[in-house]
Amino acid sequence: MTYIETLKQKLKKEKYAGIETADFFNDAKRLEEGEPYEYVLGHVDFCGAYIDLSLRPMIPRPETAFWVTRAIEELKTKEGALRLADTFAGAGNVGLALLVNLRNATVDICELDPKLKEQIEINLEKNGIEDGRARVITASDIQGLEGKYDAILAVPPYVPYDALPDLDKEMIEHEPHLAFFAHDNGHEFHKILIDSAWDYLNEGGTLYMEADMDHNDAIREMVEGTKWSKLEFWPDPYGATPNVVLRK
């Protein structure tokens, strides 16, 4: 069985209860034409949160869920109410994961693309998040944040523009490029976060930030001489250490 046929069978089971309807055959054609499975299915699970993809945000990655799960387990050890922020939010999947798994948390969710505010609000409703627990902000990086937070989580764009030809065809043709690319060899937003997030954190607060596996040396240089008390690199599921943790 080919890869596409395997995806068709998976889609038939997950979306159509095993029944070959006219809509199924339309969706099968979308798969044949190279559309990502997640868009055809229409949603993904992310750390227990249901993430609708109807407005076609960047597809949440399992690699991101891997470190977000670890961050959630760490945040569960903190006492009292938590005030958290999800920046560069896309579909809002990181913020939704925090809200679903941390009942004592409120989350400010920031995303630059104004159409994704609607996507995030759809996902808040689908997950039954109570009014007052989330604030959705249309803003770049940390510009929409106010006050102090116990943690800031960020999945910023970090792909250098000259790497476009090396990306998967599905990513190039179907996912929003705004979510991928950054200047300064991919470090444009890492630098903003390293320079500014400290001011938005409570004492003992943490910045959790996704990067690429070859970014560690550059990030060490960016952190050197700053106020951050500790820098950690957390592993991904494959043993590389691209995920950055900065402690205040």
Q: How does pLDDT run across 191-227, given as a tens digit for each residue? A: 999 999 999 999 999 999 999 989 999 999 999 999 9
- Contact assessment for residue 62 and residue 129, using Cβ atoms and an 8 Å cutoff: no
pLDDT over threshold 90, residue 165: no
Element (H, E) at 237: none
pLDDT band at 81 (very low <50, low <70, confident <90, very high): very high
pLDDT tens, position by position, 142-156: 999 999 999 999 999
Residue 225 is predicted with a pLDDT of 95
Task: Report the amino acid identity of residue 40.
Answer: V
Residue 129 is predicted with a pLDDT of 98
- 3-class SS at 13? helix
User: Mean pLDDT throughout 65-91?
Assistant: 97
* Integer angstrom CA distances of residue 117 from 112, 166, 248: 9, 30, 30
Residue 170 is predicted with a pLDDT of 85
β strands within 1-89, DSSP E: 43-46, 49-52, 82-87
Long-range contacts of 142-147 (CB under 8 A, 24+ apart): 142/85, 142/87, 142/110, 142/192, 142/193, 142/196, 142/197, 142/200, 143/110, 144/108, 144/110, 145/85, 145/87, 145/108, 145/110, 145/200, 146/108, 147/83, 147/200
pLDDT band at 173 (very low <50, low <70, confident <90, very high): confident
- Contact assessment for residue 69 and residue 47, using Cβ atoms and an 8 Å cutoff: yes
Q: Which domains does the chain have, with CATH numbers?
A: 57-247 (3.40.50.150)
- Contact assessment for residue 43 and residue 96, using Cβ atoms and an 8 Å cutoff: no
Residue 179 is predicted with a pLDDT of 85
For the beta carbon of residue 161, count every other beta carbon within 10 angstroms: 13
pLDDT tens, position by position, 15-42: 999 999 999 999 999 999 999 999 999 9
- Contact assessment for residue 177 and residue 229, using Cβ atoms and an 8 Å cutoff: no
Residue 175 is predicted with a pLDDT of 87
Task: Give percent of the chain above pLDDT 90.
Answer: 87
pLDDT band at 75 (very low <50, low <70, confident <90, very high): very high
Structural tokens at position 193: 């976060």
- Output the CA torsion sign for 3, 169, 41, 139: positive
